[in-house]
C-alpha cells in the first residue's frame, strides 16, 4: 500500500514539474529556460527537480514523450475499430482534434516546438517513434483508401501533407476548443480532393 501511495505521489510530482516546464518552455524555449525557473513555476525546489530529472533537456524530452504517447494511446482504439480506410482516417482526425482541444497548451507545444530541434536530435528522441507511427498509420490509410477508390488517385505522401496542413490549420488556427466534427472533416476532404 505504501509503495502504491509513493508511486502515485511520484507521478503527481512529475506531472506538476512537466506542467510547470511546459509554461516555461512555451515562453522561453529550450535555450532560454532555466532549471530554477522551471522549479519555481512547478512549485518545487531545484533539488526536487534534479531528483526526478537530470537536466532541462530531459524534462523537455519527457514532456514531448508524454504528449505523443498520450495521443497514440487515445488513437489506438480508433485505429483498430475502423471499418474502411477513409472512415478510419476521418475518425482519427476527429480524435486528434478532441485530444488537442482537451490539452491545447501541451499539443501546441508538441506540434510547434520540435521544429527548433536539429534533425539528428529529433531522430534520436524517444517520442519520435510515436509521431512516426501516427504518420505511418495515416499514410497507410490513404494508400488503402486510394486502392479502394475512397481517395483520388494521387501521390499518398502529397495527400497526407496537404490534408495534414489543412487539418493543422483547422485545429490550431480555429477557435480554442472548436468542435471538429466528422462532417467538417469530410467536407474538408471533399473540397480539397474534388478535382478527381
pLDDT in tens, 32-73: 899 999 999 999 999 999 999 999 989 988 999 999 999 999
User: 28 lies in which domain range?
Assistant: 1-54
Statement to judge: residues 98 and 153 lie in one domain: yes
Residues 122 and 48 reside in one and the same domain: no
Report phi then psi at 44, rounded to 5: -130, 165
- 31 and 69 in one domain? no
Q: Is the pTM of this model over 0.85?
A: no
CA dist 95 → 84, 100, 128, 181 (Å): 16, 9, 20, 9
The number of helix segments (H) and strand segments (E) in the chain equals: 10, 0
Residue 24, burial from CB neighbour count under 10 angstroms (0-12, 13-18, 19+): buried
Residue owning grid cell 512555451: 26
Mean predicted confidence (pLDDT) in 68-83: 86
Radius of gyration (Cα) for the chain, nearest Å? 19
- C-alpha span between 135 and 141 (Å, rounded): 10
CA torsion, points 130, 135, 139, 144, in degrees to nearest 10? 40
Q: Are residues 46 and 70 in the same domain?
A: no
Residue 192 pLDDT exceeds 60: yes
Residues 94 and 125 occupy one common structural domain: yes
Mean pLDDT, rounded, for 61-87: 88
User: Which secondary structure element, helix H or strand E, spans residue 104, and what is its range?
Assistant: helix 104-112
Output the domain CATH number for residue 182: 1.10.357.10
The 10s digit of each residue's pLDDT in 118-169 is: 667 677 788 888 888 999 999 999 999 999 998 888 899 988 888 888 777 7
Q: Verify that 89 and 182 share a domain, yes or no.
A: yes
Residues 72 and 89 in one domain: yes
Examine the domain organization and report whether 8 and 61 are in the same domain.
Answer: no
Amino acid at each position: 500500500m505504501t509503495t502504491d501511495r509513493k508511486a502515485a505521489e511520484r507521478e503527481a510530482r512529475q506531472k506538476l514539474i512537466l506542467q510547470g516546464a511546459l509554461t516555461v518552455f512555451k515562453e522561453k524555449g529550450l535555450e532560454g529556460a532555466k532549471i530554477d525557473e522551471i522549479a519555481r513555476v512547478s512549485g518545487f525546489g531545484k533539488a526536487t527537480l534534479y531528483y526526478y530529472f537530470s537536466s532541462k533537456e530531459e524534462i523537455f524530452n519527457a514532456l514531448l514523450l508524454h504528449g505523443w504517447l498520450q495521443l497514440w494511446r487515445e488513437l489506438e482504439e480508433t485505429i483498430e475499430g475502423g471499418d474502411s480506410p477513409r472512415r478510419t482516417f476521418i475518425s482519427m482526425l476527429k480524435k486528434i482534434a478532441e485530444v488537442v482541444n482537451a490539452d491545447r497548451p501541451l499539443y501546441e507545444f508538441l506540434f510547434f516546438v520540435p521544429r527548433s530541434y536539429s534533425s539528428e536530435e529529433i531522430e534520436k528522441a524517444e517520442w519520435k517513434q510515436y509521431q512516426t507511427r501516427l504518420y505511418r498509420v495515416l499514410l497507410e490509410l490513404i494508400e488503402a483508401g486510394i486502392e479502394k477508390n475512397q481517395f483520388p488517385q494521387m501521390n499518398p505522401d502529397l495527400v497526407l501533407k496537404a490534408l495534414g496542413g489543412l487539418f493543422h490549420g483547422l485545429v490550431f488556427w480555429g477557435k480554442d476548443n472548436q468542435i471538429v466534427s466528422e462532417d467538417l472533416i469530410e467536407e474538408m476532404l471533399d473540397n480539397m480532393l474534388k478535382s478527381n
